[in-house]
Chains A and B, each alone.
Chain A
Amino acid sequence: MNSTINARNVVVALTALGLLLLPVYSGLTGDIFILTLFTRIIIFALAAASLNLIMGYGGMMSFGHAAYLGIGGYAVGILAHEGVGSGFIQWPVAVIVSALYALVIGALSLRTRGVYFIMITLAFAQMAYYIASGLSRYGGDDGLTIDKRSNFGGIIDLSNRVQFYYLCLACLFGGIYLIWRIVNSRFGMVVQGLRANEQRMQAIGIHANYYKLICFVISGTICGLAGALLANNTDFISPATMYWTRSGDLMVMVIAGGMGSLFGPVIGTIVFLVLEELLSQFTEYWALIMGPLLVLIVLFARGGLMGVLGRLSRG
């Protein structure tokens, strides 16, 4: 909100700069691993940022957000499998199908509130998971290997690690810019008002569910794009992409980074995936350490890591 130099803004700026310069570092040191790790991080950060739009700003606790990763991914995978390799077709399909899924799921789920909303979004995502498992033509449980990444003519080569990295980063920054505009628009005011006090918003003439539904669809659409990126990154898509634990991971990334903070999900995703990577090098029981760490963040860092930085800034 204020543009002065403080701990929070410095961390955000340094992180953004670091992400921009990472391929340079990777090129100089020949460290390819860090580039692939951070490509993955950036894709998940985009998914987390989209979840933050409904969870942090809209107060809608969706426990099924990984479904969009799967839908976006399967759109790319299935089209590639059927011989449609053009990204100009694959990606719009990924985004549109995600939006339609969000429209249907949102319209049904938004009849409920609170815990019921959490459970119904989870149930729909699990349904999507089982449907994907049943797609025997496309690998069923085992998933589907994508032989060729999306083809964008001569414009950009997704097989080139650096080009793909920057494409993902552009999508992330673009997504966050979009969310920033939305959050501060009239629409965003209404959505945040509904999170704070739905009764009050109804009393001033707002039809709550219309606004919540559109917000839900925008969020799902952005996450569908993340799904298309993810499938290209792994050259593979399987039902596991939309398993409920993945939805849980996304929620943790948002909560740890800071709900309702624009850049929070990015910080949360970096911390989550880097920790996972580091801890899993030491022990295969890395989750035993990761779990308590996250509990500590939730217990003692109200507003997530961005909340802590914000309080440091105010001294």
Chain B
Amino acid sequence: MANALLRVENLVRTFGGIKATDNLSLDVKPGELHAIIGPNGAGKTTLISQLTGQLMPNSGAIHFAGRDVTWLPSHQRSRLGLARSFQISSLLPDFTAADNVAVAAQAHEGHSFRFWSAARKERHLREAAQAGLTQVGLVKRADVLVSELSHGEQRELELAVALATKPQLLLLDEPMAGLGVTESARMVALLKELRKEVTILLVEHDMEAVFALADRITVLVYGRVIASGDPEAIRNDEEVKRAYLGDQHVMVSHGGIQNG
């Protein structure tokens, strides 16, 4: 536990009378891909928002890279190496794909109080953008405005933007959301490559993807952790099966096929 990259302790967040995060503890080790699953309304996005600092918890603590970041605003957490992708693509629509990545690379370099020379002509920022886009397979679309990219391309660009800040930990909030079958397969392949370079905390609905990718899985129900362990243990966990009553069959069979 001591060497965990991210450690969440007894996190609580309520909305009115509802406990969206209920005494939640969790740790992510360096180098692993840790997945969080749970039925709709389990509090997955609420958790992500607290991890990134968009939402503050009522109590509990979040440690990242050995620092207590519980009350840090999101821009400071980003500086420490915590990057995220958004469930609903959150990009700069009237910038090109390359500009989106270049701005993230620029933000990573330190302050942006430079008022005179043209940022789009800074070669190393353009190179960083090219590299980032190449990594996610978007390099041919570099000069296309984000508003004209397809949904799938925007999901990939989200990753490139997050990676451009050179994170230690990548929080991915449902990167497959809204993707078709082939796009999903591409995303899984992409994440398989990325996990070699960066620690990932993945929140995802797509069970097939989760069981194909994750080293460890944590299952949330009503804001509580009901199970945590490797994919095999989760698949056989009785409480998880009960929680996923409707999805149980799908989960077990798909997982089996994937891993078989």
Q: Which residues of A contact B (CB under 8 A)?
A: 181-182, 184-190, 192-193, 196-197, 199-208, 211, 214
Contacts and interface: CB of A to CB of B under 8 A. Distances in A.
A243 to B, nearest CB: 32
Interface string B82-116: 01101000111111000100111011100011111
A197 B75 CA distance: 14
A208 B107 contact: no
A285 to B, nearest CB: 40
A184 B84 CA distance: 26
B78 A203 contact: yes
Given A197-B90, A199-B90, A190 B107 contact: yes
Interface of B: 52, 54, 73-76, 78-79, 83-84, 86, 90-95, 99, 102-104, 106-108, 112-120, 122, 161-162, 164-165
B106 A186 contact: yes
Contacts of B106: 186, 189-190
A197 B146 CA distance: 12
Contacts of B95: 192-193, 196
A204 B117 contact: no
A181 B115 contact: yes
Given A186-B113, A197-B93, A205-B107, 19 more contacts: A185-B114, A185-B115, A185-B119, A186-B106, A186-B115, A190-B103, A190-B107, A193-B95, A196-B92, A196-B95, A199-B54, A199-B90, A200-B91, A201-B107, A204-B104, A204-B107, A205-B75, A205-B165, A207-B73
Contacts of A192: 92, 94-95
A181 B118 CA distance: 7
Contact of A186 (B79, B114, B162): B114
B184 to A, nearest CB: 23
Contacts of B103: 189-190, 193, 201, 204
B78 A202 contact: yes
A216 to B, nearest CB: 14
A182 B115 contact: yes
13 contacts: A181-B116, A186-B122, A187-B112, A193-B103, A199-B54, A199-B86, A200-B161, A202-B73, A203-B78, A203-B86, A204-B104, A204-B161, A204-B164
B117 A200 contact: no
A206 B83 CA distance: 12
Contacts of B74: 202-203
Contact of B116 (A185, A202, A207, A214): A185
Given A204-B103, A206-B75, A214 B113 contact: yes
Contacts of A184: 118-120
Contacts of A204: 78, 83, 103-104, 107-108, 161-162, 164-165
Contacts of A206: 75, 107, 112
Nearest to B164: A204
Contacts of B164: 204
A207 B75 contact: yes
Nearest to A178: B115
Most buried by B among A202, A204, A208, A211: A204
Contacts of A197: 90-93
Given A196-B93, A203-B52, A205-B78, A185 B84 contact: no
B189 to A, nearest CB: 25
A202 B52 CA distance: 10
Nearest to A199: B90
A193 B105 CA distance: 13
Contacts of A187: 112-115
A84 B107 CA distance: 46
A39 to B, nearest CB: 29
Contacts of B118: 181, 184-185
Given A202-B78, A204-B103, A204-B161, A189 B112 contact: yes
A189 B84 contact: no
Nearest to B146: A196
A184 B76 CA distance: 25
A186 B99 CA distance: 11
A188 B79 CA distance: 20
A307 B103 CA distance: 26
Contact of A205 (B94, B108, B117): B108
For the complex of A and B, the 7 pairs showing the least CB-CB separation, nearest first, are A205-B78, A196-B92, A186-B114, A186-B112, A204-B104, A204-B107, A186-B119
Contacts of B161: 200, 204
B226 to A, nearest CB: 29
A109 to B, nearest CB: 20
A90 B147 CA distance: 48
B92 to A, nearest CB: 4
B123 to A, nearest CB: 14
Nearest to A185: B115
Contacts of A186: 106, 112-115, 117, 119, 122
